[in-house]
Copies of this chain bind each other. A is one copy, B any other.
Amino acid sequence: MQINPVSLKNIAALINSKYIGNENHLITGINEIHRVKRGDLVFVDHPKYYDKALNSAASTIIINKEVDCPLGKALIIHSEPFTAFNELTKHFEPKKYSKENISPSAKLGKNVVIMPGCFIGNNVIIGDNSVLYPNVVVYDGCSIGKNVSIHANTTIGSDAFYFKKRDARFEPLNTCGTVIIEDDVMIGSNCTIDKGVTAVTKIGRGSILDNQVHIGHDVEIGEMCLFAAQVGIAGCCTIGKKVTMWGQVGISSGITIEDGATILAQSGLGENVKTGTTYFGTPAAPVKDKMRELFATKQLPQLINKLYDK
């Protein structure tokens, strides 16, 4: 999320924290590590990830140990960076619960059709000629392009599934990102697309989602992808252009799938996929390998009989 620039001194004061760096050093955004850029504040709370955070594009790091501050950056020292980060995102973007079905702050283009029972949150943008069928829910701040259709009972912009396990509870990372749906996208009924945690979940131009598709937080989907019903994509995946997934495919978090790949039905994908390749199975493998395996497995009962009979 972008914020109005605020000084290191002032932002540290918001969370009662000590800081290392120039007090006038500016913070212009708040993002978690997957989507961080220059000017951003990020957090890190595990020594394993200290280097990654300190060397990332982020200019300011909330950290739970006093370490050397990289040149031109700043540190904020806090015993619970995760919690401190949540406090800051909530401070800069407090939750508002719109009481109207269509928020007065939503901006609707020409010829937009919003059918009965839809909810359009604060500051939502919907482009020309888009159609939202009944009972579609669009959370605050999401952006929908032109010529988009979204079928009934679909949810755009629910909270990310991103938690820190404490002894007695799961602490959620406060969801303050958004969803961007580009032009010409079609989304089926009863789909769910979560917001990015601090950044964006994106559905590329002309992509098609069938019914009951789930897209996790911070997923970025390229142009002209085609996902059949009940596909589920976990958080932080990057999907190229013209990728096809058949029904009930599941993709693990953080996976990258390059342009033109195909994932066959019911596959469970846990590794990255190169341009134009086809995967199948759970765990998914290149289809040629998998088919050879399936063919061999079919012969196995006979093979065993043969081996043990002799």
Contacts and interface: CB of A to CB of B under 8 A. Distances in A.
A214 B192 contact: no
A283 to B, nearest CB: 7
Given A119-B135, A268-B266, A296-B301, A163 B224 contact: no
A259 to B, nearest CB: 14
A155 B299 CA distance: 44
Interface string A72-97: 00000000000000000000000001
B153 A206 contact: no
Given A97-B131, A131-B97, A170-B224, A158 B188 contact: yes
A261 interface: no
B250 A265 contact: yes
B247 A234 contact: yes
A192 B211 contact: yes
Contacts of A152: 119, 137, 139, 155, 158
B134 A116 contact: no
Contact of A299 (B119, B232, B248, B304): B304
Contact of A230 (B99, B170, B232): B232
Interface centre among A151, A155, A206, by most B CB within 10 Å?
Answer: A155
B117 A117 contact: yes
B97 A115 contact: yes
Nearest to A252: B265
A298 interface: yes
A161 interface: yes
A304 B304 CA distance: 11
A258 interface: no
A133 B117 CA distance: 13
A188 to B, nearest CB: 6
A106 interface: no
Given A208-B163, A250-B265, A293 B301 contact: yes
A293 B300 CA distance: 7
Nearest to A184: B169
Nearest to A163: B208
A226 interface: yes
Interface of A: 97-101, 113, 115-117, 119, 131, 133-135, 137, 139, 149, 151-155, 158-159, 161, 163, 168-170, 172, 184, 186, 188-192, 194, 206, 208, 210-212, 214, 216, 224, 226, 228-230, 232, 234, 247-248, 250, 252, 265-266, 268, 270, 281-283, 289, 292-301, 303-304, 307
Given A170-B186, A293-B300, 7 more contacts: A115-B119, A155-B190, A248-B248, A250-B265, A265-B282, A293-B301, A296-B300
Closest 3 pairs (CB-CB, A-B): A119-B134, A155-B189, A137-B152
